[in-house]
Structure 1
Amino acid sequence: MTDKLLFANARGLKVAMVAGEASGDLLGAHLMDALLARDPGIRFAGIGGPRMTARGFTTFVPQEKLAVRGLAEVVRHLPELIGIRRALRAQLIDEKPDVFIGIDAPDFNLGLEADLKAAGIPTVHYVSPSVWAWRPERVDRIGHSVSHMLCLFPMEPPLYSRAGVPVTYVGHPLASELPLDPDKLAMREQLGLPLSAPTFALLPGSRRSELDFMGPLVIETARRLLEKFPDAQFLVPLATRPTLEEFERQLTAHRAWELPIRKLFGHAQMAMIASDVVLVTSGTATLEVALAKRPMVISYKLSALTYHWVKRKIRLPYVGLPNVLAGRKVVPELLQKDATPEKLADEIERIYHDKDYQRELAELFTGMHLALRQDTAALAADAVLKLVR
């Protein structure tokens, strides 16, 4: 942890931010760009990733320290996380930034925001926790922590407005990033892939802890799909060097080097667009697949302890964002015990052959895309500046 001032020599607005993982780093970088376009003198510090630091962000500790998933994993790292939050809170209260923006990471940020708000520092939370899906009673507690909430999804603002929490709908940045009409064949040409062979993207997750469960599952699913589609090709995008190395280790452990799997370092959206059907780990990636207008099967596996705890809290009959946004199950979800290679391969095969379903799904996803396509970073920046000026 730094023993220096986070905002040393800052003369303009001081904006503190905490982004807990890669998706937050991207949101934070876009928000920094929008804020700097309005006021080039703003200085930023807190906890952020490589995109934020490339824009001049001063980070308190490496962002990876906060990227912990699952109940068991959080418990193991809890003393370190508490220590980081305590030290950062003390430094921010001492330096008094003009505003604090917690980007996602609600378990870390909301408690910090409550303490900073009590100390007279305005607080913004960027990305609402999934209160529409589980633990809706959190809205009142969130209202005590934040001065303003920035929401990515249209069903969220009414929940906060009813609780008297100031809120702004900013849309989802991914909706501006992906084209409305992605070209599958052009993407296959760009990737140097056969144009007519059945192509499946397999997304085992962006964290190593997810690969522990999902990596072997997608490998065995690919093996069964190859029996159904002998000329199939598989695209497996890995987000980081550690996840790429872990997946390669799993391929060796499962003696699966003969499978026609093409590993990509990043480029998840390219893999989605080039594919006929996507097997995707539950999370934000499910929204990316929808915005790419591709049919999908959503899957997820957790440790038994974490799954038991999460299942008791969930209020919706589905977990994938396309189903949540549609208000009904439009894409299949095979979770935990239902997530077997046999079931996943059968479902992917069914979807591959059902062209009418694929067309209907693409039309539905286009409507979602249009609703989510806002000038997200600009709307967020305007809401932040209104709070401090």
Structure 2
Amino acid sequence: MTTRIFLVAGEVSGDIYGADLVATLRRLRPGVELVAVGGPRMAAAGARCLLDSSEWGMLGWVEVLPRLPGFLVRLAQVRRMIVRLAPATVVLIDFPGFNLALAERLRGTVPLAYFFPPMVSTRQGDRARRVARLGMRLLAAFPFEADAYRAAGADVTFVGHPAIDRVRPGVSLAETRLRLTLPAAAPLLALLPGSRRQELRRHLPVIARALPAVRARFPDARAVLLLAAPRYRPLVEMHLRAASIPVVLVPGGTPEGYDVLAASDFAVITSGTATLEALCLGVPGVVIYRSSPVDAWIIRRIAAVQWVGLPSILAGREVMPELLQGALTPPRLAAVITEGLGDAALRSRQRQELLALRERLGGPGAAERAAREILRLARLLGSEASSTIQTT
């Protein structure tokens, strides 16, 4: 009888790292049936996707309330699918708002693994204990998250972050610049405005209004924008139609996207997974984020750290400057970009600090370590070798 594993991911980043996990599970156990709620990347990697969840994401507390009925309908629909298909294991991937609610409804009925469990060390409260009580096997991407969950009594394994394997240039920087037809000395600015529609709407107008000041200081500057999904192209083109700097759109989360990011001199990066991509490639930049005022007020009261960018959280100090909420204005953004493009010593220092943090992501093989833990949970792999990485 074929063993079935059910995976649940949401949004672009979950689809990317879910695809890595699907490909690794298929390589390790080709006969396992992989069924998923996910996106096009997971489907391309070999999962049978029953629902496309790549646009299910919601930002903050304010946006959740009007969309709550649809959220509950989807939650019930996915739970029914899992009950009907009776998988050996359910694998939750990131997407904490949805997946924690799903875990509560599945608790005690099926073995659960959580790849990229909700971050707890960066916020106040007892979230770690509440997650631990759900009885899941947690596959943590960061050492400080594994430590925090372990202290709360959770069944947690530090597997590391798959960005180490995924995010790397495939060609030389010179070849990438040649492909982009860049003049030899032209500064290249990378734009990563977000992977959600709401983020694009909040960030792109600020970026577009900052570019004229950058062009005035660097007349030959060029920009590349890493597009999180093809469906966002019309929205991005609308905001950048009158951009004073030529902007080339490149698909994000792809080898081509990593090539152009690696070749960039400086980057404007929305807080989230994209900051880790810059870390892996050693690309200096500024972290930006703007949410609703109510969400910002709530976040300030529950935050346990003073940064939002993952490189700074990993380092325990500011590695990349941050422009958040009201501080994210066109003049301030333009000032940070022009300083970054104009100061080679600053870029070199930040680049070295970023690359030095790579070792804290657990080293190569994160997706395989996670896959092996999942296969053990599904009783498809023995316990002869541990997949965990020591955090102390």
Q: Normalised by the size of structure 2, how large is the TM-score?
A: 0.90
Displacement of 1:321: 0.6
Tell me if 1:60 matches 2:50.
Answer: yes
1:312 is aligned to 301
1:226 — aligned with what?
215
Shift of 1:189: 1.9
- SS of the counterpart of 1:288? helix
2:315 matched residue in structure 1: 326
Does the Cα contact within 8 Å between 2:8 and 2:92 map onto a contact in 1?
Answer: yes
For 1:384, give the aligned amino acid. Answer: I
Matched with 1:335 is 324
Quote the residue 1:34 is aligned against. Answer: 24
Q: Show the 5 A alignment for 1:26-175.
A: 26-119=16-109, 121-175=110-164
Letter in 2 for 1:127: F
Indicate yes or no: 2:283 matched with 1:297: no
AA aligned opposite 2:24? A
Shift of 1:77: 1.8
**Contact 1:334–1:344, Cα closer than 8 Å, also in 2:** yes
Task: Indicate the RMSD between aligned Cα atoms, in angstroms.
Answer: 2.0
**Secondary structure at 1:176 match in 2:** helix
CA contact (8 A) 2:188 2:266 kept: yes
SS in 2 for 1:97: coil
1:263 aligns with 2:246: no
| Structure 2 partner of 1:352 | 341
Query: Counterpart of 2:143 in 1: which secondary structure?
Result: coil
Q: Structure 1: which 4+ aligned runs deviate by more than 6 Å?
A: none
Residues 296, 146 of structure 1: alpha-carbon distance in 2 compared, 3 angstrom cutoff: farther
Q: Which runs of 5 or more residues in structure 2 are unaligned?
A: 380-392
- For residue 182 of structure 1, report the CA deviation from its aligned partner: 8.3
Q: Which residue of 2 aligns with 1:7?
A: none
The C-alpha deviation readout for 1:254-293, integer Å capped at 9, x for no partner, is xx15532222243442332121111111111111112111
Q: 2-side partners of 1:216 and 1:271: how far apart?
A: 23
Distance 1:33 1:180 in 2: 20
2:277 to 288, 291, 296: 288
Among 271, 275, 278, the alignment partner of 2:264 is: 275
CA deviation digits over 1:134-183, x for unaligned, max 9?
A: 14511111112242000111211111222221111111111112348985
Whether the aligned pair in 2 keeps the contact of 1:183 and 1:273 (CA below 8 Å) is no
Partner of 2:179: 190
Letter in 2 for 1:118: G
User: Does the Cα contact within 8 Å between 2:225 and 2:250 map onto a contact in 1?
Assistant: yes
**Alpha-carbon distance, 1:56 to partner:** 4.0
Q: What is the total number of aligned residue pairs between the two structures?
A: 375
Secondary structure at 1:370's aligned position in 2? helix
Identity of counterpart residues, as a percentage? 33
Give the secondary structure class of the aligned counterpart of 2:189.
Answer: strand
Cα distance in 1 for residues equivalent to 2:222 and 2:40: 32
Q: 1:327 to 1:76 in 2, by over 3 A?
A: same
Q: TM-score, normalised by structure 1?
A: 0.90
Contact 2:138 2:155 in 1 (8 A): yes
